[in-house]
């Protein structure tokens, strides 16, 4: 039996899906430790090995905590539905979509992040426990503690970006969410498509692509800060 020339080969002839969804074989020239979970530096990628370093509030939080912290409008570590609504409006969504986002996000994430067992009618999301709200059928770019995994982030684009290497079309986004589905995980299937759909609405470029940099900055929340600043600047000018 012929032995494999490369023990770390990422494709297998008897598993056609590994040929269809190829992953980059070597990220180490750009990322010294691509499989190591990132913590407070923000989203790390091949184009940004140091993460997001300018004008971004890390506050010694995990990257998942940074992702949601923008919506903590009063900075008390708890996100209420009206804050989710306010944050959604701040980045440019209309009142109806902002309301839908606030209801869905807080209703589905609140209980799992509570410090106790008794539900709260105010549907708060506790940032300190936000890792408990991580659902299945996602890209696995966050680990179960909310740290960022650059190798899984980069795999999104090496597997599914067929039209351009650093952008995703809407069809490629759909293919990615289909490829990440876990068995019987109905909630995860829906949540993943909604999350990526909202991101596409927010950050697509004029040609209808979702840029890799926008996705990276969404993961660490700096995209929301950028959108709010840009919208505020446009309001002052006009």
Mean pLDDT of 109-114: 98
Contacts of 136 (CB under 8 A, 6+ apart): 182, 185, 187, 188
Beta bridge pairs of residue 164: 167
Question: Are 221 and 66 a contacting pair, CB within 8 Å?
Answer: yes
Check if the beta carbon of residue 233 is closer than 8 Å to that of residue 90: no
Q: Would you put residue 140 in left (φ > 0), alpha (ψ -120 to 50) or beta?
A: left
Average pLDDT, the chain: 87
- Closest residue by Cα to residue 90 from 223, 237, 238: 223
**Three-state SS letters, 105-164:** HHHHHHHHHCCCCCCCCCCCEEHHHHHHHCCCCCCCCECCCCCECHHHHHHHHHHHCCCE
Q: CA-to-CA distance for 210 and 233, rounded, in angstroms?
A: 23
**What is the rounded average pLDDT of the residues 185-212?**
98
Q: Give residue-wise pLDDT tens across range 24-72.
A: 666 555 555 554 545 555 555 555 555 555 656 677 889 999 999 999 9
pTM: 0.84
How large is the average pLDDT for residues 152-167? 96
């Amino acid at each position: 039996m012929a032995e494999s020339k490369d023990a770390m080969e990422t494709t297998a002839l008897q598993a056609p899906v590994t040929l269809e969804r190829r992953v980059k074989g070597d990220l180490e020239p750009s990322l010294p430790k691509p499989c190591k979970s990132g913590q407070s530096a923000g989203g790390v990628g091949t184009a940004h090995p140091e993460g997001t370093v300018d004008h971004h509030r890390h506050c010694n939080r995990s990257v998942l905590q940074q992702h949601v912290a923008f919506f903590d409008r009063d900075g008390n570590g708890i996100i209420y539905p009206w804050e989710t609504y306010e944050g959604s409006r701040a980045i440019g969504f209309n009142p109806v979509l902002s309301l839908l986002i606030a209801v869905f996000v807080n209703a589905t994430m609140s209980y799992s992040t509570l410090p106790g067992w008794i539900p709260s009618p105010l549907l708060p999301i506790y940032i300190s426990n936000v890792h408990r709200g991580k659902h299945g059928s996602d890209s696995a770019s966050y680990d179960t503690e909310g740290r960022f995994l650059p190798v899984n982030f980069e795999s999104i684009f090496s597997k599914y970006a067929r039209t351009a290497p650093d952008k995703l079309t809407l069809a490629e986004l759909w293919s990615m969410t289909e490829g990440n589905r876990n068995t019987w995980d109905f909630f995860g299937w829906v949540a993943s498509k909604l999350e990526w759909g909202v991101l596409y609405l927010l950050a697509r470029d004029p040609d209808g692509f979702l840029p890799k940099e926008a996705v990276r900055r969404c993961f660490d929340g700096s995209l929301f800060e950028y959108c709010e600043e840009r919208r505020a600047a446009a309001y002052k000018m006009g």
